[in-house]
Structure 1
Amino acid sequence: MKRLTLFLVCTFSTCFFGYSCFWDYDTIEMERIQFPDVIELISGKFLRHSPEFYQWRIKDRTLKLRKSPDSIALYDDLAVAYSKIGNDSKAIQIILKKDSIAPKNYKTYANLGTFYIHDGQFSKGLTYIDKAIAINPDAHFGREIYQRYLVEYVLSKMKNGKVVLPLSIDFSPSYERFPRYKSDNFYTFLTTKYSSKTGTLLKNNTLPKEELDKAIKGIMGMMKFGNYDSPILLEALGDLLMANGWKNGARQLASRAYFKASYHSKEPETKSLYKQKVAFAIYHQYTKKGGKRFTAQELEELLKQEIVEGNNFYQSIRNDEIQWIQLGKNPEKEFSKKYYQEPMIGERIQRTNTSVGMVESKYRENKPDDTITLKLLPKDTIFLKDNLANETEKTLVKKQETTDKNQTNIPIEIFFIIPIFIIILVYVIKVRRTKL
């Protein structure tokens, strides 16, 4: 009897605790420690200027250039201001004039390359990005290098002159493996580049951690100082965060990035494919041993709340800058006085009470079937000039009654316990009958 009981306990432990330990890794708090400012960038809650500010800067720098046409830095300010309001052709014109006055300048080439890329002139853009890298390869933590790689990656994905979203939709047949084993997302594109550049054969096609950290920082820099709403940047960020592995992965952050990228498109097929990427991202996320996990629906609800918070923060900055301009104050100086510290999303990280069983159920709903995935071809989407449709400014969808649902949901672990309990019960009854 003791042996059988021990055997059953060991079997039960293997099924239950072994299963739980498989999910036992990062908390969202740890994600915040490992990847600071990612949630703020995705939500838009970071320090940035308004269109009104850049209109003011255009007038200010134009007047100053008339008085001091040889002040090189003023050309950069003026050109960037035009680019920020969407007039990249004017920005190119201004920065080319600067180049004629002071050639072979790093800032000139870096800005000019970015303006050409934003204007859809990729080849010219890459030419000037290369010139900037040649002068200062380590500037902005090497951001230009990853900007170049991202443009190359996007070009490799273009179909009929357009970018198709999502850029990467291919999953391994088992749907359980790391994204780094695939050959078509931004992370694996970087591994190919790294191997070619260094002549190194990467083990398991895995980038060195320091290289991956640089790539993440580069994409975050492009989001912060360029277009944080870009679905291309968001998807690339998600791919890089996913590549950190099971124990160090930022699955909840990657899910947010994929969800935000999906808001760019109104096509149901495109949204469905991004949801599949989210399902893959959070399938192996876990809070802590014995803890709870987020479903995709819960994470999206949190994201929408975070975006509203980001929009409100940005609107307060915009209101301030409009008021300063109307009062005849210098918005640059006033901005520096008031906004000297980057904000954070929320006072504390929100937690979930969702059972493992519900997460399993939701995962099965979103997990793609191979035959369906092949049919869900995303629509052609033009990159760069598009603006993200800000669905989050509308009234938030009514919160789901997740607590009530959790109480009525049957945890998946019960299916392991019931058979074992029956076996024990049958054996005990049999032993008693034998004694009688």
Structure 2
Amino acid sequence: MRRMLLTFCLLSLLPVTYAVACLWDSETLEQERNKFPGTLEVITGNFPRHSPAFYQWRLDDRLNKLANDPDNDRWLDDVAVSYEKLGRHSEAIEVAESQLQRNPDRYETLANLATFLIHDGQWEAGLRYIDRALEVNPDAHFGRERYQRLLVQYLLQNFPDGQVEYPLAAGDRIDFPTFLVNDQPPGEDGQPPKLSIEQRQAAVQGVVGMMRFSQHDHPVLLEVLGQLLTETYRPKVDAKQLAARCYLLLADSAASPATQAAYEQLAKKSLNLQATHKSGSEGQMGLRAVRRELSGELAAAKKRYNSIVLKEKRWIASGVDVEAAYRQYVNSVQW
């Protein structure tokens, strides 16, 4: 007992960074996935999603149907989103604006137009339509629009000229979690405010929702997700292995060696002092292990997506109802 007490006292004298280092292995990754379900799948793209060929098929299909029913808003939604998914932002915006001329308070159109404008780089205009959409339906999409709005405000604060630089929080630019608590008072200990567990969970859910329904590998979304998943020394909140995956993906797609090195450093930092049962004398979980796991996860995701790409091409060529065939296939596969 005396030896145990002495050990505890010695540990209490160590810097907090060492006292909280924990064992970390594949089981810990599962714990992170349980805290943030579906997040690994979205990060790696391992979830059901359509191919460009599908969106072209749906665009042609809906345009043909609109010839006999030009004011069908559901078909117009499909046309606008298909344009967006095909990278034809101006045409998507035009369709949504024409819908609003007939029905200026339609939530679906307001939300769509906000997203189209933001993706087109028209951030402030997009914010105006997000605000209008939230007035009509404050709780739609599980509050995803709220975090879309906050993210655009964050970008405007860091990049008022609209020219995004990566990493987002480099230099004197703040990160997204800090932005979210900027209006909160310091803690009782005088330290800067931090997101609560509930706030972080909600923010992660909002960002993951944007990734799933918009662009899962967008660099802004990947980086802010990595920021939200990394909260130093709070093991009940953070998810460092998931965050490292975000940063490694950003490093691999970086436009310059300097940006690549910066993201690799963020990945290392997110894993700092996290020991693994198998690390032996190394004492830290290296990026090689995470990168190896990530490589396998990406390969599995690519295989599944390529299967959908091939199936949708075949369905289109055979003239079947592509949407019905897709639903049947997705429901028959365990994701």
Give your verdict on TM over 0.5.
yes
Counterparts of 2:148 and 2:167, CA distance in 1: 19
**Distance of aligned partners of 1:117 and 1:7 in 2 relative to their CA distance in 1, 3 Å threshold:** closer
Provide the residue aligned with 1:315 in structure 2.
306
Corresponding position: 1:218 with 2:193: no
> 5+ unaligned residues in a row in structure 1: which ranges?
1-5, 172-182, 345-436
The residue type equivalent to 2:311 in the other structure is: D
Q: Distance in 1 between matches of 2:96 and 2:149?
A: 20
**1:11-410 paired onto structure 2 within 5 Å:** 14=10, 22-24=20-22, 27-158=28-159, 161-170=162-171, 184-192=174-182, 195=184, 204-243=192-231, 245-248=233-236, 249-287=238-276, 294-340=285-331, 344=335
Structure 1 residues 372-394: Cα deviation after superposition (integer angstroms, max 9, x where no partner): xxxxxxxxxxxxxxxxxxxxxxx
Structure 2's unaligned 5+ residue stretches are: none
Contact 2:18–2:273 (Cα < 8 Å) also in 1:
no
Alignment coverage as a number of residue pairs? 323
Distance 1:211 1:13, change over 3 A: closer
**Residues 342 and 136 (structure 1), Cα distance of their counterparts in 2 relative to 1, 3 Å cut:** farther
2:83–2:89 Cα contact (<8 Å) kept? yes
Is this contact kept in 2: 1:143–1:218, CA < 8 A?
yes
- Shift in Å at residue 7 of structure 1? 7.7
1:308, distance to aligned residue in structure 2 (A): 1.7
Closer/same/farther in 2, CA of residues 254 and 87 from structure 1, 3 Å limit: same
Partner-residue secondary structure (3-state), 1:299: helix
> Residues 155 and 20 from structure 1, CA distance in 2 versus in 1: closer, same or farther, beyond 3 angstroms?
closer
* Alignment partners' CA distance in 1, 2:110 and 2:198: 27
Range with greater deviation from structure 2 (287-296 or 66-75) = 287-296
> Which amino acid is the alignment partner of residue 165 of structure 1?
Y
Contact preservation (8 Å) 1:157, 1:164: no
**How big is the shift at 1:245?**
4.7
Identity %: 38
Cα distance change, pair 290–87 in 1 and its aligned pair in 2 (3 A): closer
Shift of 1:157: 2.2
Q: Which amino acid aligns with 1:44?
A: G
User: Partners in 2 of 1:284 and 1:98 — Cα distance?
Assistant: 54
Deviations 1:388-409 (A, max 9, x none): xxxxxxxxxxxxxxxxxxxxxx
User: What letter corresponds to residue 106 of structure 1 in structure 2?
Assistant: Y
Q: CA deviation at 1:284?
A: 3.4
Measured after TM superposition, the shift of residue 243 of structure 1 is 2.8
Give the Cα–Cα distance (whole angstroms) in 1 for the partners of residues 312 and 3 of structure 2: 71
Whichever residue aligns with residue 318 of structure 1, its letter is: V
Q: Secondary structure at the match of 1:114?
A: helix
In 2, are the aligned partners of 1:129 and 1:144 still within 8 Å (CA)?
yes
Give the structure-2-normalised TM-score: 0.88
| Partner Cα separation in structure 1 for residue 333 and residue 167 of structure 2 | 31
Please state whether the residue corresponding to 1:104 is helix, strand or coil: coil
- Note if contact 1:116-1:122 (Cα within 8 Å) is conserved in structure 2: yes
CA distance in structure 2 between the aligned counterparts of 1:333 and 1:8, rounded to whole angstroms: 64
